[in-house]
Structure 1
């Protein structure tokens, strides 16, 4: 066994050496001939690398080749980003962009180069959703709804536990393991009635053989939040973190519940999930920020073209709400790039402009002025800055700009 291990290690070493030499040779030839794309002169903000300054981003073969000042070289294509922000491709970890064939393209126009469809479909529709995601222009992945019928905003998908079939969910995951990366359970009372904890237990049971995380939608749940948190494991995600009472993250005195703080310490992730109905109000948002309980990730809960006419608009607009409440630009960008990449292993090579990473890049405009932002209850606040999507690059290719 020892000799076999040594032989395998030697083979791996030789393979790595040969691969490295081939890559070096290819890179040298490409450098001699010029680059595929250079994004010139933008303010590069990449929290994963600690970069905040004017740089050129160089792309070769669909990968980041360099992030440097004043690159002296030609490229097949130039993207002029002077006066704009250049950031790792935005990752939206809670949207519903697998609902139609054109939805992935629509979120890409918003600067979202990677997305996670958070439980639109259950076992009955997940195969079609997986095909749609694979055909899309950006990098998409799926959470499967623990209810076989998926989202049902009219009747609620978890009122009938006969729809929560663990074996059916497991089979659907196994068929689509390349794109299904977790399970979703919407635990608001109107979707579950008294079934919330049992539905969550079944979601965990379905996830267990695959080692997958479970994302739980909270807000106005039947059961107290501590009971829900007790069923979560490291790597699971709470979304709609600032959902109003009953059964939100705050106690009767307005302080973050100790069970919520303990959950974060043991590795539970917390996501914003803007949404349009009962998912946050300014009071809860501001209370959380003042206490330093900031979500790990910022997401939209995007729900089709109509989203642009709601308080969501797009991911850059949702990001701007955090700027209004005092987060730094770097902290906001981290929550839609590197933090999102860490939250889900499928995105682990994204959310960064590190050399060798997939060349997913978003160009944003940070404008000064008086901008109105709404919560889910149509209460308006005015901020002095807003981010706008300008352009995106996916796998080293420029994508159509939003009109």
Structure 2
């Protein structure tokens, strides 16, 4: 099997054999004059992007030739299609098209469904306009609110979870365990052990939702392997990433060094506050990935969309290229299914997010109704999926 670099290069070479010449070329689409930020290639410059056959065929300062369609991206950011690794877009067929309007060209439903109901979530992922994938909840019920799905450990049935993975192997990319106190209580460590047991035969990662856990975070981290994901990393309260003096636990950075991935996971309740983000980032804990914990109701909450969530870290001085990396190439590296995504390299699938970075005064909210003002915010402008311009809803 070819790796990511071999696949992109081979596909790019094949594409160019069908282009008659640089100056006579006719493309399906050219995105002209945008600020192309592609962290996978270390690129941040004004460029044109040419697309043919659903693939990126050129990224150059100026591309000659005609195109069936042109997008004027002057004054806008042109980035790889955004990847949101923690959503609940699989709960309804309306979800994926809404995400697509926000520039999200690939998403993961993070545990909406367990063994009893994952088939319905998987069906939505298969039928989505963009790439959709799923994490199986270790609880057979999937997410249960507000009472929580893991207070009764019998719900965490390893055999049933493995069966759910097996019959949906084309779209299932991992296992999810929600381990906050209100979901699992004192069962958190055993639930995580069972999630690992379910994922093991398939060599899949486990994503854990943390925040106000019953068990100390270091005990949870000790059960994670390379490639596992911790979401809601800035959740305040007991047994989080900070001690009672606001100092980052050494176990957190140690887990990162051995390959555990730390995801923002905005959400709406008890998942982050500004104070925790500020203290943790000052001590070097920046997110590896951004995600929204998105649902179809998110437009009316502090989430809004993935570009809005990304914008919150402009408040803390995170470089824009690093912010975009967290929603593109870094997210793509979490799951082999996205191996050729998160990049504008020649030969890659032509999934593109075009955004505006507007200047002004913008209000951002945490999960505790805390408000902070910023002077920049990213807004979705256009989405290109598989080389086709997505119509505005």
CA-to-aligned-CA distance 1:322-360 (integer Å, 9 cap, x gap): 011111111111110111111222111111100011100
Is residue 163 of structure 2 the alignment partner of residue 171 of structure 1? Answer: yes
Q: Aligned partners of 2:166 and 2:71: how far apart in 1?
A: 41
Q: Aligned partners of 2:130 and 2:19: how far apart in 1?
A: 25
Q: Which moved more, 1:31-40 or 1:382-391?
A: 31-40
8 Å Cα contact 1:216/1:237 also seen in 2 = yes
| Partner residue in 2 for 1:377 | 368
| Partner residue in 1 for 2:127 | 135
How far is the alpha carbon of 1:385 from its aligned partner? 0.3
Per the alignment, in what secondary structure is the counterpart of residue 40 of structure 2? coil
Is residue 384 of structure 2 the alignment partner of residue 393 of structure 1? Answer: yes
2:212 alignment partner, one of 203, 211, 220? 220
8 Å Cα contact 1:30/1:60 also seen in 2 = no
How far is the alpha carbon of 1:401 from its aligned partner? 2.4
Q: Which of the pair has more CA radius of gyration? A: 1
CA-to-aligned-CA distance 1:197-245 (integer Å, 9 cap, x gap): 1110000000000000000000011111111111111100000000001
| Partner residue in 2 for 1:286 | 278
CA-to-aligned-CA distance 1:265-307 (integer Å, 9 cap, x gap): 1100000000000000000011111111101001111122x21
Is residue 164 of structure 2 the alignment partner of residue 198 of structure 1? Answer: no
| Partner residue in 1 for 2:44 | 52
Is residue 381 of structure 2 the alignment partner of residue 366 of structure 1? Answer: no
Give the TM-score normalised by the residue count of structure 1: 0.92
How far is the alpha carbon of 1:30 from its aligned partner? 10
Cα distance, 1:22–1:352 mapped onto 2, change above 3 Å: closer
Q: Which moved more, 1:19-28 or 1:134-143?
A: 19-28
Is residue 199 of structure 2 the alignment partner of residue 207 of structure 1? Answer: yes
| Partner residue in 2 for 1:337 | 328
| Partner residue in 2 for 1:153 | 145
Q: Aligned partners of 1:226 and 1:72: how far apart in 2?
A: 56
How far is the alpha carbon of 1:155 from its aligned partner? 1.8
Is residue 297 of structure 2 the alignment partner of residue 327 of structure 1? Answer: no
Is residue 246 of structure 2 the alignment partner of residue 259 of structure 1? Answer: no
Q: Which moved more, 1:322-331 or 1:21-30?
A: 21-30
1:92 alignment partner, one of 80, 84, 94? 84
Q: What stretches of structure 1 move > 2 A for 4+ residues in a row?
A: 18-33
Cα distance, 1:20–1:270 mapped onto 2, change above 3 Å: closer
8 Å Cα contact 2:36/2:45 also seen in 1 = yes
| Partner residue in 2 for 1:234 | 226
2:97 alignment partner, one of 91, 95, 105? 105
Q: Aligned partners of 1:284 and 1:95: how far apart in 2?
A: 22
Q: Aligned partners of 1:71 and 1:31: how far apart in 2?
A: 8
How far is the alpha carbon of 1:92 from its aligned partner? 0.6
Cα distance, 1:19–1:208 mapped onto 2, change above 3 Å: closer
Q: Aligned partners of 1:155 and 1:379: how far apart in 2?
A: 26
2:293 alignment partner, one of 295, 301, 314? 301
Number of residue pairs matched by the alignment: 384
Q: Which moved more, 1:23-32 or 1:169-178?
A: 23-32
8 Å Cα contact 2:116/2:141 also seen in 1 = yes
Is residue 354 of structure 2 the alignment partner of residue 352 of structure 1? Answer: no
8 Å Cα contact 1:108/1:392 also seen in 2 = yes
| Partner residue in 2 for 1:122 | 114
The alignment's C-alpha RMSD in Å is 1.6
Q: Aligned partners of 2:330 and 2:52: how far apart in 1?
A: 25
